[in-house]
Structure 1
């Protein structure tokens, strides 16, 4: 089959690889009908996350048609059309029983990314990601093996298109969990740092929950315009506004917003000092977006962090967070928990995640798609890839 494979920093290629096969009673084989390039894929593409090997198949946002099922699969049958969550969870461990699917302690044979790990079990395996999270082949391919199919894949009604439901695999539940963590409700004020796909999904979900005022901070004019036109956000361009948090405070009676969402994560554009420290591996992440979120949030408010972080951060300003009495809520998304509810919102028209798609390419053009997404060429917001057997 054809699949997008990793060969080093900024070197991904569509290769001919072996077709996947069933390996476990709860496996299914899926013929992929749509897949997407995610911001988390760019962390891998840029060489920012260790644990990838040459030839690894990338991609964790995908959906398709069930081709084969293992003997232990009870929820699906060949011909079913499903969306697959990027988190692989068993459904029966201590954490899965508490709906904390991203913490599943049985699916990941890697060590996880925690530095001060001790004997802690790693979190759940993920599709198409580093071997720290299991090295499970991903879905930017014509076919993919899906483990734990009794817990993950969600059947999709024929009335909904692939474009409408594809993002149930990751960015829509991620934006939704961020909004729930922020306790957004009717009348809330919110700041979202990052106008990428997760930030846009967070804005959509915040409007669904009744947010009254949403500030969005980014430095891409086209993304900010899109967010303002589509979700009614108040855009703040951080290349033009020296201190976005100050602007937000001044616009909220010098209190700050009820909550902030850091949808940027560890690759936020930081200071020269942070860039040098990160290059020298003396710092794991830029803390710029997190510092801005802390500063922009009112006393007693919440900082919600769906953006990925790794390692340690200097100038965290924990004293400021303590003085303001802030709460922090964060982590990988418990995708399975939210998929059915979000599917209902898509079905009734309350959510339209497909509007953020800016480009649709064939799988054979995936390498070009990565370059476009990385460099934001041609106003690139979100790329959907359509696989198909080469003839």
Structure 2
């Protein structure tokens, strides 16, 4: 899958990847996910893309070639590849901040670790929506997984699972909180604290599942009925934001939590939020400018659609935590600093540090029972040739598309 221009994704034949460094491996890709972050490349981050860039950052497959310094893998092994490329030995990696790896940081753009298939901002490394993939720093990054379950049991270890896991960790949901229960109490009872997940796309859906697995009360807000139905089916409480009437999302959340608000909020939407027509128009306009003009404009004066983030600040209780997992890219976003300060909020955010969480998640995935429902998580499995249409369908939230997996 190659990027050829804004909203122009095409299947092309390219040269097969080869070993370039002793720490590399080459895999034959068996499954590769379509991520909400890919939609940013599809349109918003076009100034940082070049025609022919291979996209995709959620791959897994079978090892075909092994570099000389890769000792834990053999040809034929089954591996999942983290979306961020980290060395495992630098100062940042040693502190569990693999998404800030100092070996693969992109200092020319002032960004963190390189990512598979994700623009000049993050290293312009060929991505995993392809038949074959070269994996840099595979001596540390590549995760060997068993062969006794379908791909979907492990595929989401590449991005969705660690991103959602970190979102829940960063949310710091208390064991007891504002539960809004029928007893009128506010100590959270035995159900743990309350978390509001804004957005029920793949990351929000999985974050809700993880929080439910940990015993928390989970409210999820979205506007797509199919997504909300999935949440309710796992035990969450749905809030349809198209059915709020004159109330705000925060009003509804406070009604359900004894007037206080959620103990924690996870913003799983980011810059793809609905409702900011003017900013969306600016994104499209900037995307039409020549790259030498558009790049610095996006880096220094870019703005995001902030509806989801602002709603998160409003809906969280005083002294609560907002965990931002939806991707933002603006450099000049206005924030309600008085509200944030007055409510004494804690805010945590950032790209997932995949290898920090992967061992804990893998232990959960290796259980006989499919605890988080990963094997039924994807809504669509498609050949790579159908990827261009799938991008459009996914962006428009049509055909019940919550998670798309390509089968090269």
Same fold (TM > 0.5): yes
Offset of residue 352 of structure 1:
2.1
Select the residue among 19, 33, 47 that pairs with 2:16. 19
Tell me the equivalent position of 2:391.
Answer: 370
Given candidates 290, 301, 305, the residue that maps to 2:324 is 305
Find out whether 1:228 has 2:232 as its counterpart.
yes
Answering whether residue 10 of structure 2 is matched by residue 5 of structure 1, we say no
Q: Secondary structure at the match of 2:395?
A: helix
Deviates more, 1:124-133 or 1:213-222: 213-222
Deviation for aligned residue 1:313: 5.2
CA deviations 1:212-259 (Å, max 9, x no partner) are x21111111111111111x22221121221411111012111100100
Instruction: Give the aligned partner of residue 291 of structure 2.
Output: none
CA contact (8 A) 2:34 2:404 kept: yes
Distance 2:280 2:363 in 1: 43
CA distance in 1, matches of 2:166, 2:11: 33
1:43 aligns with 2:40: yes
Give the aligned partner of residue 148 of structure 1. Answer: 137
Aligned equivalent of 1:323: 342
Matching of residue 249 in structure 1 with residue 249 in structure 2: no
Q: Distance in 1 between matches of 2:17 and 2:331?
A: 37
Query: Match of 1:204?
Result: 209
Distance 1:385 1:271, change over 3 A: closer
1:215 and 2:219 equivalent? yes
CA pair 10-279 structure 1, distance change in 2 beyond 3 A: closer
Name structure 2 gaps, 5 residues minimum. Answer: 176-191, 287-300
CA–CA distance in structure 2, aligned partners of residues 344 and 283 of structure 1: 41
- The alignment yields a C-alpha RMSD, in angstroms, of 1.6
Kindly indicate whether the alpha-carbon contact (under 8 Å) linking 1:88 and 1:127 is maintained by their aligned counterparts in 2.
yes
User: Quick one: which of 330, 336, 355 aligns to 1:336?
Assistant: 355
Q: Is the 8 A contact 2:87 2:140 kept in 1?
A: yes
Question: Structure 1 319/380 Cα, relative in aligned 2: closer, same or farther at 3 Å?
Answer: same
Query: Which residue of the partner structure matches residue 184 of structure 1?
Result: 173
- Aligned-pair distance for 1:50? 3.1
Deviation, 1:301, is: 0.6
Deviations 1:114-167 (A, max 9, x none): xxx5xxxx3100001111100000010000000001111111111222011100
Offset from partner CA, 1:247-288 (integer Å, 9 cap, x none) = 101211110010000000012113445445655666520111
8 Å contact from structure 1 (residues 346, 352) kept in 2: no
Which sits farther off after the overlay, 348-357 or 86-95?
348-357
Residue in structure 2 matched with residue 193 of structure 1 by the alignment: 198
Larger mean CA deviation between 378-387 and 266-275 belongs to: 266-275
The structure in which a higher percent of residues are helix is 2
- 1:380, CA displacement in angstroms? 0.8
Structure 1 alignment gaps of length 5 or more: none
Answer whether contact 1:262 1:305 (CA < 8 A) is retained: yes
- Indicate conservation of the 8 Å contact 1:10/1:47, yes or no: no
Q: How many residues align?
A: 374
